[in-house]
Amino acid sequence: MTITLTADRDSGRVLGTSLVSGYGGGTVHRSHAIVAFTERATVFELENYDLAYAPPFNTTWDPVFVAAKVLGGELRYRMRGPSAAVRCSTGCTTGEHQG
């Protein structure tokens, strides 16, 4: 699964999301990103969301929330551009480290 979150550098507001899953299991995760986008939430709010957990359909740490935590850290401590993207697959790396 690959997740991309884009947020405004100054406000942290989620500007866009992208989720690609080869296994067809991205529906649950996609809904979490849609809620954040629809509610005009910030990445800081998204990283603290407490949504339904259903073990048959989800992992202990939801990948969207993990991506939000990484992006939130990037926004808090190391931002240098107008927006930030984070990509999470097997591990999480910030957009500036993508190859």
- DSSP letter string over 20-58? E-TTS--HHHHHHHHHHHHTT-BHHHHTT------TTT-
For residue 46, the one-letter residue type is: L
The string of pLDDT tens digits covering residues 4-13 is 888 888 788 8
Q: What is the mean pLDDT of residues 62-76?
A: 83
28, pLDDT greater than 80? no
Which residues are bridge partners to 92 per DSSP? 88
Band of the pLDDT at 24, cuts 50, 70, 90?
low
39, pLDDT greater than 50? yes
40, pLDDT greater than 50? yes
> In what order do the strands lie in the sheet containing 83-88?
14-20, 2-8, 83-88, 92-94
Task: Enumerate domains of the chain plus CATH numbers.
Answer: 2-97 (3.50.50.60)
Position 84 scores a pLDDT of 47
Q: What is the mean pLDDT of residues 76-92?
A: 51
CA within 13 Å, CB half, 43: 29
Position 98 scores a pLDDT of 37
Tokens 């992208």 appear where? 18
If we measure between CA atoms, which residue out of 17, 27, 21, 24 comes closest to residue 2?
A: 21
Q: What is the mean pLDDT of residues 44-72?
A: 76
